[in-house]
Amino acid sequence: MSTGARRSFRLFDLRVEIVAVKPGLESVCNHHLGDAFEVSGENLSIPAGKTFSMYALAAVLPLLPAKQRVTDEHDWMSHDDHVMCPDPHCEAKMRISRIGMREFFLDEVSASARERSSDG
């Protein structure tokens, strides 16, 4: 059953940025203030020539799919946006920001949905 309209959904684009480092220990993890990457759909983008710690990435990665989605205004996910580097000596802080909204079409991102719609 098709209504003719393509099924779509929207996700936030995200930016993850190092916003605080502990003075004197910055070199432990090689974080630098302003180090950042952006998330659009399933894609991460790091500016050319820049780096981002894979350990810091590992700490923030599980939160990104939830942050991409619209959450209830009373959900903590709507308000809490800071994540610490997992190195206990580091204390670097990252901030996840919602920087935009993008529309995705279900038939372009889900083979399962494509199969179900072709089952008739």
CB 1 within 8 A of CB 99: no
By CB under 5 A, what part of segment 8-67 binds Zn ion? 29
- Distance in angstroms (rounded) separating the CA atoms of residues 111 and 22: 45
> Phi-psi region for residue 48, left (φ > 0), alpha (ψ -120 to 50) or beta?
beta
Query: Nearest distance from residue 19's CB to Zn ion, in Å?
Result: 13
Residue from 11, 83, 85, 94 in contact with Zn ion (CB under 5 A): 85
For Zn ion, the closer CB: 11 or 36 = 36
- Contact residues for Zn ion, defined by CB under 5 A: 29, 85, 87, 90, 92
